[in-house]
């Protein structure tokens, strides 16, 4: 699954002579093998801890569990920890600035989208809030650049696996051994698992992603070939006990898209057949959802209003038409100023909602049609490049990129993860988008030189 680096040219014969080897050994001032090993281990530990932090793990230990807000929204402990992570990530990225600049050019729609969030502070109703949170979003993107520059895709997936395994095992232990931490105690969710995270829906989202990660690690040439089969049931238990229906549906849809991904990856199919297959799958999927949605909602204790979300959405859309092109500013709409009319209509305390429980709606409310259009371009480019990678390589493992996008798109219908700073789902999508952008650029260059050359292995 990794991007193939350009092969290094062999050193001149003279440099391989014994005399030159002795001279280079005697005058070497760089780190020893042991030092490089320690540095590599320290980096691995740091990156796993970073992924744990982005997943929201350990939130219940230092956050008021009764507060109805995201862990990344204004918590001083999280800000201190994430700030430390960003400083270290920036230091690790310093030596890769040239590569980072190339990645930025190859993924300019993604960079432009984050830039738009930063720019929205100039028209935001709460510019300080927008600038602070948009800066956090930009730092999350910087962390993604660090991961993409320093890790090949296969190693990134393995580190995700270790982080997810820790969250899964820790959540089971917390729920069974320390229920005051691992389970909700508030009336509406009493007894439901939240594990090492702050909310049951957060646990459901992370465990659904964990199952996807473990599924694709089955083909990894490492100990994960066996560990993945242990990780899947370990993640499935907290996912089920969290009762997070959105995570369930998103996981089922994402994994159900695998046949479509494999269809796209068949080399012998013409482009017309692929387009026809995708169109047919979308139509059949829409018909199926329309036929079974109401019965499924009834079985799960929901209705077509999605527990009142549709009422909230209608009021938010009405308020959003005040600035439809540019929005209220990144993370500014659901503040006391931005959504005052909505809170007043629903008799909610100002600021309680935090988000509109719909990622697409929140992007439009905050960044207008400009932001929603930019996001559509980023997602479309990622899907197109993922399909192109599968066609060019014929490797089923590259369906990982496609499945992650599908999961994010479905999950965002009732929850906010799109453009969410300090969140593991958005971080994974961003890192994958950077990998795909780099692959697309290399593949295009290789195709110009030799049409049948593969640059992704």
φ, ψ for residue 193, nearest 5 deg: -75, 140
For 113-170, what is each residue's pLDDT tens digit? 999 999 999 999 889 999 999 999 999 999 999 999 999 999 999 999 999 999 999 9
Average pLDDT over residues 381-385: 91
Query: What's the rounded Cα separation, in Å, for the pair 300 and 252?
Result: 15
Among 424, 304, 426, 307, smallest CA distance to 363 is for 426
pLDDT at 13: 43
* High-pLDDT (> 70) share of the chain, %: 76
Among 371, 356, 359, smallest CA distance to 205 is for 359
pLDDT at 298: 56
Average pLDDT over residues 36-41: 79
Higher model confidence: residue 71 or residue 180?
180
pLDDT at 91: 94
Tokens of 293: 């949605």
Query: What's the rounded Cα separation, in Å, for the pair 332 and 313?
Result: 16
Query: What's the rounded Cα separation, in Å, for the pair 454 and 376?
Result: 29
DSSP per residue, 386-425: HHHHHHHH--GGGHHHHHHHHHHHHHTTTS--TT-TT-HH
Q: What is the mean pLDDT of the chain?
A: 81
SS (H, E, C) 94-158: HCCHHHHHHHHHHCHHHHHHHHHHHHHHHCCCCHHHHHHHHHHHHHHHHHHHHHHHHCCHHHHHH
Q: Give the range with max mean pLDDT: 19-23, 39-43, 52-56, 450-454.
A: 52-56
Query: What angle in degrees, to the nearest 10, is found between the helix axes of 399-411 and 359-393?
Result: 170
Count the neighbouring beta carbons within 10 Å of the beta carbon of residue 262: 13
Q: What is the model's pTM? A: 0.83
Query: What angle in degrees, to the nearest 10, is found between the helix axes of 359-393 and 424-449?
Result: 40
For 214-266, what is each residue's pLDDT tens digit? 999 988 878 888 899 999 999 999 999 999 988 998 999 899 888 877 776 66
Q: Contact at 8 Å (CB) between 208 and 247?
A: yes
Residue with tokens 């694709």: 216
What is the pLDDT confidence band of residue 20, given thresholds at 50, 70 and 90?
very low
For 280-329, what is each residue's pLDDT tens digit? 666 666 555 555 555 555 555 555 445 567 778 888 888 889 899 999 99
**Letter string b/e over residues 69-97, b meaning 16 or more CB atoms within 10 A of that residue's CB:** bbbbbebeebeebbeebbebbeebbeebe
């Amino acid at each position: 699954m990794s991007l193939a680096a350009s092969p290094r040219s062999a050193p001149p014969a003279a440099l391989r002579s014994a005399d030159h080897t002795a001279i280079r050994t005697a005058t070497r001032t760089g780190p020893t093998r042991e030092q490089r090993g320690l540095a590599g281990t320290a980096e691995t530990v740091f990156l796993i801890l970073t992924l744990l932090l982005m997943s929201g793990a350990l939130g219940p230990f230092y956050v008021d569990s009764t507060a109805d807000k995201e862990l990344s929204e204004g918590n001083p402990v999280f800000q201190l920890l994430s700030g430390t992570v960003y400083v270290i990530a920036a230091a690790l990225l310093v030596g890769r600035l040239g590569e980072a600049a190339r990645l930025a050019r190859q993924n300019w729609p993604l960079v432009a989208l984050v830039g738009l969030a930063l720019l929205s502070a100039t028209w935001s109703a709460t510019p300080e809030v927008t600038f602070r949170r948009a800066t956090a979003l930009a730092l999350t993107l910087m962390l993604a650049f660090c991961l993409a520059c320093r890790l090949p895709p296969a190693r990134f997936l393995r580190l995700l696996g270790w982080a997810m395994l820790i969250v899964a095992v820790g959540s089971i232990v917390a729920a069974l051994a320390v229920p005051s931490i691992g389970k909700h105690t508030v009336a509406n969710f009493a007894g439901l698992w939240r594990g090492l995270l702050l909310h049951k829906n957060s646990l459901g989202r992370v465990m659904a992603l964990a199952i996807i990660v473990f599924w694709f690690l089955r083909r990894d040439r490492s100990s994960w070939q066996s560990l993945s089969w242990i990780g899947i049931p370990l993640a499935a238990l907290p996912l089920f006990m969290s009762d997070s229906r959105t995570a369930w549906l998103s996981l089922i849809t994402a994994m159900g898209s695998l046949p479509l991904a494999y269809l796209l990856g068949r080399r012998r199919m013409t482009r017309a057949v692929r387009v026809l297959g995708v169109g047919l799958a979308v139509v059949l999927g829409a018909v199926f959802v329309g036929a079974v949605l109401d019965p499924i909602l009834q079985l799960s204790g929901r209705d077509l209003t999605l527990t009142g979300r549709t009422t909230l959405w209608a009021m938010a859309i009405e308020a959003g038409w005040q600035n439809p092109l540019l929005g209220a500013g990144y993370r500014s709409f659901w503040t006391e100023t931005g959504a005052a009319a909505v809170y007043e209509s629903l008799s909610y305390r100002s600021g309680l909602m935090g988000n509109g429980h719909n990622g697409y709606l929140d992007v439009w409310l905050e960044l207008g049609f400009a932001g929603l259009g930019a996001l559509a371009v980023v997602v479309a480019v990622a899907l197109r490049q993922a399909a192109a990678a599968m066609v060019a390589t014929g490797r089923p493992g590259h369906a990982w990129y496609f499945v992650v996008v599908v999961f994010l798109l479905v999950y965002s219908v009732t929850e906010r993860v799109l453009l969410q700073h300090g969140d593991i789902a958005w971080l994974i999508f961003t890192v994958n988008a950077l990998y795909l952008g780099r692959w697309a650029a290399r593949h295009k260059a290789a195709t110009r030189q030799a049409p049948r050359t593969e640059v992704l292995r």
